[in-house]
């Protein structure tokens, strides 16, 4: 390969890196694009899911439930 080809490749890599860097910087500045209503909906779903998991943990770890399971095995 000629030196000219290497120079062209290096310039292309440099320009490509600059384009990709500016693209990601502009995406970071613009945010994720989620609206306030979407964020509120996600937060409500998350709260509901957390409460359901807490209820399931109580049921799974409850000592009375453990005793009932042991008796049902017999």
Q: Looking at residue 62, what is its pLDDT?
A: 73
Q: Looking at residues 30-34, what average pLDDT do you find?
A: 66
Q: What pLDDT, on a 0 to 100 scale, did the predictor assign at position 1?
A: 64
Helix residue ranges, H only, 1-74 = 3-30, 36-61, 63-73
10-14, 34-38, 43-47: range with lowest mean pLDDT: 34-38
Cα 20 from Cα 17, distance rounded (Å): 5
Residue-averaged pLDDT of the chain: 80
Contacting residues for 59 by C-beta, under 8 A, at least 6 apart: 65
Confidence of residue 45 (pLDDT cuts 50, 70, 90): very high
pTM over 0.75: no
């Amino acid at each position: 390969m000629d030196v000219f080809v290497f120079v062209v490749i290096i310039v292309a890599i440099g320009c490509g890196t600059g384009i990709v860097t500016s693209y990601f910087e502009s995406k970071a500045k613009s945010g994720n694009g989620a609206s306030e209503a979407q964020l509120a909906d996600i937060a409500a779903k998350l709260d509901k899911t957390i409460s359901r998991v807490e209820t399931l943990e109580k049921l799974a770890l409850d000592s009375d439930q453990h005793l009932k399971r042991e008796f049902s095995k017999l």
